[in-house]
Chains A and B, each alone.
Chain A
Amino acid sequence: MCLAIPGKIVELDRDAAHLGTVEVAGVRRKVDLGLLQDDMPVAGDWVLIHVGFAMTKISEQDAVEQMNLLQMLGEAEQAMQEVRGYGVDESGEHRQENPRPS
């Protein structure tokens, strides 16, 4: 129920409006685009493929935003540690922490 893979639409079928060819790391397969009929993808779009059907378009912007969030993880804490090093703490609270992985 869950195996779905991002693939790039490399070609739309000339004869069948609902079919397109998708490529995943060089592997190509015909995919039914019928579930995206409200906002049909074009060649170059990335879609999520499940059992030979495109489920959604992949949002590059959301992907980039997510990566940014992930990059920032720990940065707020690093900044806090530096500040604490000067003997100043934002909230004045003493925070307990879990032992870190080695």
Chain B
Amino acid sequence: MNGKFAVEGERTAIRFRDPQIEMAHGAGGKASRRLVEGLFAPLLFQNTGEFLGDAARIRIDGAAFAITTDSFVVRPLRFPGGSIGELAVNGTMNDLAVSGAQGQAMVVTFVLEEGLPTTVLEAEVRAMAAAADRAGVAIVGGDTKVVERGKADGMYITTTGIGRIMPQVTVDARSVRAGDKVLLSGPIGDHGITILLARGELDLEANLASDTRCILSLVEAMAGEAAPGVRWMRDPTRGGVATTLNELARDSGLGIVLLEEEIPMRDEVRGACELLGLDALHIANEGQFLGVVAPEYADAALNALNQAEGGEEACVIGEVRHEPAGAVLVTTRYGGSRIVDMLVGDPLPRIC
């Protein structure tokens, strides 16, 4: 975003009232949403009325493209299963994929902290090159800035990716209907818990790694068998499955009902969540996606995912219903249920 914007004339009302920016505003939950909808959207997005998705659709000379931008801020830079560079490439490709686009090219900006060892930077650049290679995307340019020691936590990476929209795939919350099935590509919570443990503040150890990966091939596999039935997709990053599905419930005006026993998660994620009093549905994922599919296509979609490499653990975790409108309900086999809301800020360990 380089300064001038063509929103001239009428002043659009800013609804964002928080006096200062806090960590919660970046956590992907309610506070983040308030910031985007209350400050950025009125001033920058020209209030087109489009839902704010992971990527924007544009037409250039009649051809449909998707464009997305994202920034990557993670501490520590390297963690079991990946690093900031891989998150950057995979995250961008995934945003495009769940918007129904095949990422073609990316540009990358580095904000580097003075004093960052070159070996660290080189390792990240190599990781990005490898991830881009695996994902089949070209990194075609970028920018670099250096800031003083003490800022930038080592490095921040921003990416912008552009992709070609897959022909029969439309992603639109307004097309979602009661009876549609909710599909999840694999176990939840791996990334967020790995990062939490890697920070070392809680002194927990587990055999866990981030699930960061490019899920384009899974989306393509699903689209190959069930494209006409795919209504909506999103990758549940910060804020977790709960936040993503709450956004869908809000945007569609429908309810989402999940069956707790169907939601896959690794033992270690479960153990960490129980120990710390966290809900796995609020934990970030970097290699999964949610898809809402019309019931007559659900079996084909699930089958296609299960057959694809990396999609073996994909499953149906719930369905869309009229009630509870605008909310997400998690039910259990014995009949107990609870509403799961969007996160406010980052998930916090609790002792009570």
A9 at the interface (CB under 8 A from B): no
A51 contacts B351, CB within 8 Å?
yes
Any chain A CB within 8 A of the CB of B267?
yes
User: Which B residues touch A2, using CB under 8 A?
Assistant: 352
Pairwise interchain contact A25-B350, C-beta atoms closer than 8 A: no
Q: Are B275 and A49 in contact (CB under 8 A)?
A: yes
Q: How far is the CA of A2 from the CA of B351 in the complex (A)?
A: 7
Indicate if B274 sits at the interface (CB-CB under 8 A): yes
Q: Does B204 contact A (CB under 8 A)?
A: yes
What's the minimum C-beta distance from B266 to chain A, rounded to whole angstroms? 8
A4 nearest in chain B by CB position: B351
1/0 contact trace for A1-37 toward B, CB 8 Å? 1110100000000000000000011111110000000
Find out whether the CB atom of A30 lies under 8 angstroms from the CB atom of B203: yes
Closest to B193 in A: A27
Residues of A within 8 A of B206 (CB): 26-28
* Cα of A21 to Cα of B151 in the assembled complex, Å: 37
**A92 on the B face (CB < 8 A):** no
| A28 touches which of B204, B274, B277, B335 (Cβ 8 Å) | B204
Quick one: which of B204, B270, B277 contacts A29, CB cutoff 8 A?
B204
Do residues B267 and A29 form an inter-chain contact, with CB atoms below 8 A?
A: no
Are B268 and A27 within 8 A (Cβ)? yes
Q: Which residues of the other chain, B, contact A24 by a CB distance below 8 angstroms?
A: 271, 274-275
- Secondary structure at the B interface, as helix, strand, loop or mixed, is mixed
B350, A3: Cβ atoms under 8 Å? yes
A3 to B206, CA, bound (A): 20
Nearest-neighbor residue (CB-CB) of A52 within chain B: B203
Q: What are the residues of chain A within 8 A of B277 when measuring CB–CB?
A: 3
Q: Which residues on the B side are within 8 Å of A3 (C-beta)?
A: 277, 350-352
- Let me know if A27 and B271 touch, CB within 8 A: yes
B144 / chain A contacts, CB cutoff of 8 Å: none
Contact yes or no, A27 B275, CB < 8 A: yes
Contact A29 B268 (CB under 8 A): no
Within 8 A of B (CB), among A21-62: 24-30, 49-52
Tell which of A5, A24, A30, A52 has the most Cβ of chain B within 10 Å: A24
Contact of A25 among B202, B267, B335, B352 (CB under 8 A): B267
Q: Does B207 contact A (CB under 8 A)?
A: yes
In the assembled complex, B262 has its CB within 8 A of some CB on chain A: no
Q: Does B272 contact A (CB under 8 A)?
A: yes
A24 to B271, CA, bound (A): 5
- Cβ of A99 within 8 Å of any chain B Cβ, yes or no, is no
Closest B residue to A49 by CB, please name it: B275
CB pair A29–B352 under 8 Å, yes or no, is: no
For residues 194 through 233 of chain B, which have their beta carbon under 8 Å from a beta carbon of chain A? Answer: 202-207
Shortest CB-to-CB span from A13 to chain B, Å, is 13
Interfacial chain A residues near B271, Cβ < 8 Å: 24-27
Residues of A within 8 A of B274 (CB): 5, 24-25
* From A3, A5, A27, A50, residue with most partner B Cβ within 10 Å: A27
Q: Cβ of A101 < 8 Å from any Cβ of B? A: yes
Residues of the B chain whose Cβ atoms lie less than 8 Å from the Cβ of A30? 203
Which single residue of chain B is at the shortest CB-CB distance from A21? B205
In the complex, what residue of chain B is closest to A30 when comparing beta carbons?
Answer: B203
Supposing A1-B351, A26-B271 touch, asked if A101 and B335 sit within 8 A by C-beta, the answer is yes
Q: Which residues of A contact B275 (CB under 8 A)?
A: 5, 24, 27, 29, 49
B interface, CB within 8 angstroms of A? 202-207, 267-268, 270-272, 274-275, 277, 335, 350-352
Given contacts A25-B271, A29-B202, A101-B335, 13 further A-B contacts (CB under 8 A): A3-B277, A3-B351, A3-B352, A5-B275, A24-B275, A25-B268, A27-B205, A27-B272, A28-B206, A29-B204, A30-B203, A49-B275, A51-B351
A-B contact pairs, 27 of them (CB 8 A): A1-B351, A1-B352, A2-B352, A3-B277, A3-B350, A3-B351, A3-B352, A5-B275, A24-B271, A24-B274, A24-B275, A25-B267, A25-B271, A26-B206, A26-B207, A26-B267, A27-B204, A27-B206, A27-B268, A27-B271, A27-B275, A28-B206, A29-B202, A29-B275, A30-B203, A49-B275, A101-B335
